[in-house]
Amino acid sequence: MTQRTKWLVLGFAFSATFINYLDRQTLSVLAPVLLLQYHISAESYSRIVSAFMLAYTISNGISGRMLDRLGTKAGYAIAIALWSGAELLHALAKGAFGFGIVRFLLGVGEAGNYPAGVKLIAEWFPAKDRSLSAGVFNSGASIGAIIAPPLLAWIALTAGVRAAFVVVGLLGFLWLGLWLLVYRRPPQDTPPPSLSTRGSHLFRSKFLWQFTLSKAFSDPVWYFYTFWFPQYLRADFSFTLQQIGETAWIPFFTAAIGNVVGGLFFFPLLTACGSPQKARRIGVILFSLAMMSTVFIPACRSPRSGIALVSLATFGYSASLANLLALPADVYPQDAVASVWGFASVGSGFGGMLFALLTGWIVQRYSFSTAFVLFGLLPLVAAILVWFLPSHSGINVAEGAPVA
């Protein structure tokens, strides 16, 4: 297979993640307008976010297994068709209940994106290139979040709020058509050893459970910035929709840089310690320290300093994730990677759902500053769990049985 083909495949994963985050950010960017229009409180908004997280959580437990069984091409196609259709339905929603329903449907489809992307990288890239390729693939999330505020604010101000949902939904179907037309499976000399057919053995793996727990603490931090940052700008600094469109992209720009830096930083770490797994874990630890910057938000008196601290945290998250995304492929065979990542994302979803509800409660009764302190401390817990992960799956690949 040629390098050109690999980059084309990576381009599909990047663009799918880009669209995924445009879809996810649409309601977040427009929330300051929609919440006022439909008299939706912070706690009601947190329930809408939790409806997405509930569906995302449940579906992650299914999507990984589906991808390992159906293959990357069919699995990716089903996922993006589901979430793009759900995005279109947002244009028909009215009030908290309606948005809760369509966000739930969006979560069902979006759960397939990361298991598909991780599986795609495991199939097409060797271990030494996976941190960088994972960083490029995941940068689609950051780029989507960068583009979302100015693009969606412009569409809403010129064509109406509901037009934004329609435009973004149709973009997903454009990707789907190109994917079905162009993508072909990678050539395989011999089939990889199978674990996906013995899914029950995966659940006996200590690595799987501890990795899942780490994501339950790390990913809610990103969800907080994704779903609540525009609201923070409005609540604490009285930003208008236009001002949000002009500034809310900045933390996601630094996140995009973090994806590349995290992937590139893996190479000197690998040279220094000689082990891909150890290099990735060190990267996670170092970049998680940057994520703790938001504990200083309560001292901020200007939007500039608040945006700067959040931007440092999002940089750290993405740089850390570039290394974390590649870890399952170091431990499990290719036909189990999507299942592992899907199951770990169930932990991510439960954590995101729990902390979304907690965020609404904190913001309603206290302030955004209190929430930022909480989300500045969570990465430390996640990083410790990653550092002490077992160095192997605990599964005998040949027999699909637990290692004694």
Give pLDDT tens digits for 101-148.
Answer: 999 999 999 988 888 888 888 888 887 787 778 778 878 877 887 888
Q: Average pLDDT over the chain, rounded to whole?
A: 84
CA distances in angstroms from 215 to 64, 211, 343, listed in the order given: 16, 7, 10
**Residue 372 within any structural domain of the chain:** yes
Residue 378 has pLDDT above 50, yes or no: yes
The answer to whether residues 224 and 375 touch, using CB atoms and an 8 Å cutoff, is yes
Other Cβ atoms less than 10 A from the Cβ of 374: the count is 17
DSSP label of 118? H
Round to whole Å and give the CA distance between 178 and 183. Answer: 8
Token readout for 42 is 């912070």
For residue 399, what pLDDT is reported? Answer: 43
**Residue 189 within any structural domain of the chain:** no
The answer to whether residues 148 and 140 touch, using CB atoms and an 8 Å cutoff, is no
Single pTM value for the model: 0.69
The burial of 1, by beta-carbon neighbours within 10 Å (0-12 exposed, 13-18 middle, 19 or more buried), is given as: exposed
For residue 1, what pLDDT is reported? Answer: 53
For residue 395, what pLDDT is reported? Answer: 54
Tell me the pLDDT tens digit for each residue of 228-243.
Answer: 888 888 888 888 888 8
Q: Write phi, then psi, for 211 (nearest 5 degrees).
A: -65, -40
Round to whole Å and give the CA distance between 288 and 248. Answer: 22
Residue 214 pLDDT grade (very low, low, confident, very high; cuts 50, 70, 90): very high
Vertex 366: Cα angle to 365 and 372 (nearest 5): 130
Round to whole Å and give the CA distance between 75 and 372. Answer: 36
CA distances in angstroms from 338 to 70, 76, 207, 299, 358, listed in the order given: 11, 11, 15, 42, 30
For residue 197, what pLDDT is reported? Answer: 40
Q: Write phi, then psi, for 185 (nearest 5 degrees).
A: -65, 150
Token readout for 124 is 């097409």
For residue 192, what pLDDT is reported? Answer: 46
Round to whole Å and give the CA distance between 345 and 12. Answer: 21
Residue 189 has pLDDT above 50, yes or no: no
Tell me the pLDDT tens digit for each residue of 325-354.
Answer: 778 878 877 677 777 877 887 888 888 888
- The average pLDDT across 282-289 equals 92
Beta bridge partners of 396: 401
Residue with tokens 């985050």: 21
Residue 204 has pLDDT above 80, yes or no: no
Residue 323 is which amino acid? N
For residue 199, what pLDDT is reported? Answer: 52
Instruction: Find all residues with CB under 8 Å of 37, minimum gap 6, and list them.
Output: none
Round to whole Å and give the CA distance between 377 and 391. Answer: 26
H/E stretch holding 402 reads strand 401-402
Question: Structurally, how many domains does the chain consist of?
Answer: 1
For residue 201, what pLDDT is reported? Answer: 66
- The average pLDDT across 240-263 equals 87
**Residue 93 within any structural domain of the chain:** yes
**Residue 190 within any structural domain of the chain:** no
CATH number at 388 reads 1.20.1250.20
Range of the domain at 393: 3-184+195-402
Tell me the pLDDT tens digit for each residue of 14-40.
Answer: 999 999 988 888 888 888 888 888 888
Query: What is the b/e burial string over 178-188, where b = at least 16 CB atoms within 10 angstroms of the residue's CB?
Result: ebeeeeeeeee
> What is the separation, in whole angstroms, between the first and last Cα of the chain?
38
